[in-house]
Amino acid sequence: MGEAATIAGYDYGRDRIPRSPVSLTDLQQILETVDFTDTDRRYLTMAGDVLADQAEQMVDAWRARIGAQPHLARWFFDPNGHPNERYKAAVKPRFVQWVLDTCRRPYDQAWLDYQDEIGRRHTPEKKNVTDEVSGPPVVPHRYLIAFAAVIITTARGFLAAKGHSTDDVDGMSTAWCKAVLLTLALWSRPYARDGLW
């Protein structure tokens, strides 16, 4: 992950982001809830290899869908009501890196801290700050959750693109689904009312 160090705003493992208020015990319980197993970890590693040279293409495909839906695109507009291309360009390499990190990083304290940071960067607490842009203060929670369906269901085609067996594609798809919902559970924390997360 050497190239990742050069991505602006990619603060994975850096002291400048705070420790997540979610404990490692909480994380363990969420991992159990999604039924994340050693088999899933192995399949995620395989998925990381399969997706390494496709991650940018995946992100391009997802962002094309976002850009085509006004109710999704507007959260990345500038105050004049136009797509903020600088903002979009700044976010993209982090989105690509997220695909790879989800597959390859151990789910430890550094990973947990960065997931909370990503969650906050979608809410008024931190949105627009990292890239110093002016835009709407939030990506609404309903769209974050709903778009996970696209992140999950479109992955299968990319996971099948390298000639793996159906069993392997099933295994990678299942592990990916669990990892995305684990991530979504963590990103949801700053959206939730006190005591309900």
* Residues in touch with its own copies (CB under 8 A): 26, 29-30, 32-35, 65, 69, 71-72, 123-124, 138, 140-143, 145-150, 152-153, 156, 166, 170, 174, 177-178, 181-182, 184-186, 188-189, 191-193, 195-197
H or E segment at 22?
Answer: none
Q: Which is nearer to its own copies, 91 or 184 (CB)?
A: 184
Do 179 and 102 form a contact (C-beta atoms < 8 A)? yes
Whole-number Å distance between alpha carbons of 165 and 88: 36
Nearby residues of 1 by Cβ (< 8 Å), 6 or more positions away: 97, 100, 101, 104
Residue with tokens 């006190």: 194
Q: Which is nearer to its own copies, 7 or 160 (CB)?
A: 160
Min separation Cβ 138 and its own copies, Å: 6
Q: Which is nearer to its own copies, 87 or 191 (CB)?
A: 191
Written as one string, the DSSP assignment of 72-111 is HHGGGB-TTSSB-HHHHHHHHHHHHHHHHHHHHS-SSHHH
Min separation Cβ 141 and its own copies, Å: 5
Q: Which is nearer to its own copies, 83 or 86 (CB)?
A: 83
Min separation Cβ 48 and its own copies, Å: 19
Min separation Cβ 154 and its own copies, Å: 8
